[in-house]
Amino acid sequence: MDKTAESIKSKFLELGVDIPLEDIVERLDKLVTKFKVPLDEARRSVITYFLKENDLDRNAFFGGQSTTPDSRSTPDVKLNGIDEGGKWVNIKAKVLQLWDSSHESVSQVGIIGDETATIKFIKWSRDTIPDVEEGKSYYFKNVVSNEWNGRFELTLNKNTVVEELDEDIEVISSPMAGAGDGQPAPMVNIADIAEDGKWVSIRAKVSQLWDNSHESISQVGLVGDSTGTIKFIKWTSADLPDLTEGNSYLFNNVVAQEWNEKFSVTLNKNSSIEELDEDIEVASSSITFAGAMVDVQSGSGLIKRCPECKRALTKGACMEHGKVDGTYDLRIKAVLDDGNTAQESILKRELAEQISGITLDDAISMAADALDQGVVLDQMRLKLLGKYFTVTGSKVDRYILVDSIEPQDGMDMEMLDELIADAEMI
Amino acid sequence: MAGYVREVSRRVFAQEFRESNLTFKDGDDQYSPQYLLTPTGAKVNRLFIVGTLIEKEDIGTDSEYWRGRVSDPTGSFMIYAGQYQPEAAQALAECETPAFVAIVGKPSTYTNAEGTVFTSVRPESISIVDVDTRDLWVADTARRTLERVKDLDNMDSNVVKAKEHYNTDKDHYSSMVREALRSLKEDL
């Protein structure tokens, strides 16, 4: 801890501020000993405190001795030498890919590489750094390494200087670079897509196209082959022809991406699409489940969705977009139970209307009359709980996304006779 | 929510439920779920029953406390709903008798001074259903009970525990199921 305190002191001295060592130790000690803060966090907190006390800019401290970047104190490293987060480094590398940035705060994002490795980089819009170009090599001075989900990436910041190099940096050949070389990525089955960031090619049929409200996405939906189905995203900037639902295509050079343990493939500028004459058979992921509806969960009934992303709002706010003016929708999150399995099922608006007999308009006026949208859920529970249903749909995580639902009514006499025969055998 | 699995609603006839008296916890934690183990080895933390509400009475002194009796082809379930089951208590209060009701609830047991164990159901929800649903439930419960009776020869730990405790008579429960199914067939 004393060492940490001394290093903080000397860093501040360089900035022309003399802070008594005992003040630093005292603050550090309080955090570490009394409040069980890890030393790293405590150090950060103490630095922030004294920076504020002395009216200093954070970047002055973290970014070097002065506001003008001094790349001489930052080491030149090769990309495979990046093995911890939070390091300032200088890198000579070639821009291999530029991805489509889906967020306005990111000005450029992609992959750079040298002869040792490739790494993702991010350039923020707030920092005025000239754009880099694919295929060109640059000297990136004062960039910061970050660790994210066990992977490293480089962040360009306002102290970063980017100089274009005349030389062409040689790049390690890796799957990441595959698409850039004009080599088609390996052909795989959808079920075998299991590595984040991997370039692959697939032959698949477009089984669903979804509504999409984001202008940077041109098409989104599901594609499938005989081994499974996977979500795809086609970026507007990829400038690829539109896909038609039900047609089969060869997708060259698409990127597998993992999100919440689920994979999707993205189609970008390096991807190509060829329509196929054949009709690819898609594995049926559809399952049928019959049981009694033992719960209609909260979040069912009349809900509001974010107009941007269609997510259901919680207390009028979207997880992604904050407070928004939501649009009304109906849905049912039901638990069907057959005595051996409790199966959660999600019914979208049309099906919710069909089995509850309550239309979206009915629901809106019911809620308006009662000044409470909870009345819709109450009505649905009254109507549906305890009844037997058969649903068919696709299994996603622990849910069935229901395509069709039918009430079970009336006894199947044949089945009853079989049961009686069965009971008599024992 | 990771790792959370909703307890399945078991299907047990009233007779078997009444003849159950073995409760245990899965784990030592005070939050560990409690189970009722029935003579055929159903491990019940939640159950789904459909039957006829034949009696109801507010037996509460200060606040409402509703007792209901729900019958199936083999006997009847006692249902208790008070202030901690507001939806179910309200449903019982408003409900006419007799009526077909579907109940999702938790098993609960009470031991009297003589050491006799009484089972009852603490409902999570009560809803009015039609006769078709009631019939479907009888067939459904018959099927699940038969499955358990057949599995009585297994060495599954719950089955072993149930047989040790109840000295379960297979015929007793298979004939119960037969009677229930026959009554169902006669009605149709």
Residue A170 lies in a domain: no
Furthest CA-CA distance within chain B? 50
A/B interface, count of CB pairs below 8 Å: 101
What is the residue-averaged pLDDT of chain B?
92
Q: Give strand pairing partners of B110.
A: B118
Sequence ranges of the domains in chain B: 9-187
Decide the pairing of beta strands B117-128 and B99-111: antiparallel
CA distance A9 to A24: 8
The phi-psi region of residue A279 (left if phi > 0; otherwise alpha if psi is between -120 and 50; otherwise beta) is: beta
pLDDT digits (tens, 9 = 90+) for B124-145: 999 999 989 999 999 999 999 9
pLDDT digits (tens, 9 = 90+) for B4-48: 789 999 999 999 999 999 999 988 888 888 999 999 999 999 999
Q: What interface predicted TM-score (ipTM) does this complex get? A: 0.94
Chain B closest CA to A195's CA: distance in Å? Answer: 23
Domain count, chain A: 4
| Residue among A342, A416, A426 minimizing CB distance to B9 | A342
Chain A closest CA to B152's CA: distance in Å? Answer: 11
Chain B residues in contact with A426 by the CB 8 A cut-off are 146, 149-150, 170-171, 174
* A183 DSSP 8-state letter: P
* B88 and A CB contact within 8 Å: no
Sorting pLDDT into bands at 50, 70 and 90, what band is A69? very low
pLDDT higher than 70, residue A64: no
- In this structure, the answer to whether residues A131 and A223 fall within a common structural domain is no
Question: What is B9-187's CATH number?
Answer: 2.40.50.140
The DSSP line for B79-148 is EEE-TTSHHHHHHHHH--SSEEEEEEEEEEEEE-TT--EEEEEEEEEEEE--HHHHHHHHHHHHHHHHHH
**What three-state secondary structure class fits B13?**
coil
Residue A412 lies in a domain: no
The whole domain housing A357 covers 286-407
Residue A420 lies in a domain: no
Per-residue pLDDT, A294: 97
CATH classification at residue A303: 2.40.50.140
Between residues A295 and A195, the one the model is more confident about: A295
Helical (H) or strand (E) element with A60: helix A58-62
Q: What pTM did the predictor assign?
A: 0.60
Whether residues A386 and B177 touch (CB distance < 8 A) is answered with no
Residue A154 lies in a domain: yes
Per-residue pLDDT, B178: 94
Per-residue pLDDT, A227: 84
Per-residue pLDDT, A177: 42
Residue A424 lies in a domain: no
CA distance A131 to A89: 19
Per-residue pLDDT, A62: 67
